[in-house]
């Protein structure tokens, strides 16, 4: 029983650390505000990491048949020229669109950056 509790606490701490790490990784200059460039760079990095793992035959190309599960729908959207290969450029273009969408929704003062307050606004407040 006690052992179980410790594991749950550990798992919780791990999730917290990941969330924090994500925020720190995005906010490269540490001012608490996410600029468009910071968000794009951080997302590209995240996606690239995912896609590097997806490159099963390690030929440096990530093809749609190497990607499984939830990631596949993202990958299909990212594959702009529909050749079944996800290139770095396509990932960047896709991520840029996503960041712009997020900004359009949440950047209330239209300065092209997301402050802590803007980020914490719930979706329901926006729509």
Q: Is residue 59 involved in binding Ca ion (CB under 5 A)?
A: yes
CB under 5 A: which stretch of 19-27, 36-44, 73-81, 94-102 binds Ca ion?
Answer: 73-81
- Is the C-alpha dihedral spanning 51, 45, 97, 124 positive or negative? positive
Q: Is residue 100 involved in binding Ca ion (CB under 5 A)?
A: no
Residue closest to 37 by CA, chosen among 117, 94, 113? 113
Q: Is residue 57 involved in binding Ca ion (CB under 5 A)?
A: yes
CB under 5 A: which stretch of 37-45, 72-80, 95-103, 119-127 binds Ca ion?
Answer: 72-80
Question: Do residues 55 and 31 touch, judged by C-beta distance below 8 A?
Answer: no
CB under 5 A: which stretch of 14-22, 35-43, 52-60, 96-104 binds Ca ion?
Answer: 52-60
Q: Give phi and psi for 62, each to the nearest 5.
A: -105, 115
């Amino acid at each position: 029983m006690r052992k179980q509790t410790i594991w749950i606490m550990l798992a919780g701490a791990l999730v917290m650390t990941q969330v924090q790490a994500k925020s720190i990784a995005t906010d490269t200059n540490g001012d608490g505000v996410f600029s468009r460039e910071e968000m794009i760079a951080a997302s590209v990095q995240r996606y690239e990491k995912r896609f590097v793992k997806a490159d099963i035959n390690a030929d440096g190309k990530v093809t749609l048949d190497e990607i499984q599960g939830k990631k596949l729908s993202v990958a299909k959207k990212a594959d702009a020229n529909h050749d079944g290969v996800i290139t770095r450029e396509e990932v960047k273009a896709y991520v840029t669109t996503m960041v712009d969408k997020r900004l359009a929704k949440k950047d209330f003062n239209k300065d092209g950056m997301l402050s802590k307050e803007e980020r914490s606004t719930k979706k329901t407040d926006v729509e």
